Amino acid sequence: MPSIVEQPATARIITDAPDPKTVSVTLRYDGADPLAIRIVFPPEVSFDGDEVVWAFARDLLESGLRLPSGEGDVQVWPCGRAQVVLEFHSPDGVAVVQFDTAALRRFLDSSYARVPAGQERHDIEVETELSKLLHRT
């Protein structure tokens, strides 16, 4: 089974404008980096015309579906029963983005089918121990 999960989703960028801008994003999980998830935003939402990729902890997204979570650059919280808000902080400013909870839940469930919760560090620990054994003198 491939360890990469990619799922399209709709994001609503929340601004002062009367109508939020809706963009298509890609939710991405790679079992080679089992602790993180990525959200890939299209070039049209960036200042420099390149796609924007935010990477953060998978467990942050999981907990943010239920209760306000995160400190620092990425914060996640439920907004009613059907929406989740992600707030991204960068030197260029703050972006507030809203997603349907169901889409994020489907994505997380697919990622857990690849690497179950609690198994993420197992692969990392094996690699660390193997590296220690190979580098002993």
In terms of Cα–Cα distance, which of 29, 55, 54, 38 is closest to 116? Answer: 29
- Please give the pLDDT value at position 36: 94
What's the pTM value of the predicted model, to 2 decimals? 0.83
- Please give the pLDDT value at position 92: 83
| DSSP conformation class of 20 | P
Mean pLDDT by 10 residues, the chain (137 residues): 87 88 96 94 89 95 97 95 95 92 97 85 55 60
- Please give the pLDDT value at position 47: 81
- Beta strands 36-41 and 21-30, pairing class: antiparallel
Q: Which CATH superfamily is domain 4-134 in?
A: Sporulation-specific cell division protein SsgB (2.30.31.20)
- Please give the pLDDT value at position 133: 61
Distance of alpha carbon 86 from alpha carbon 95, whole angstroms: 8
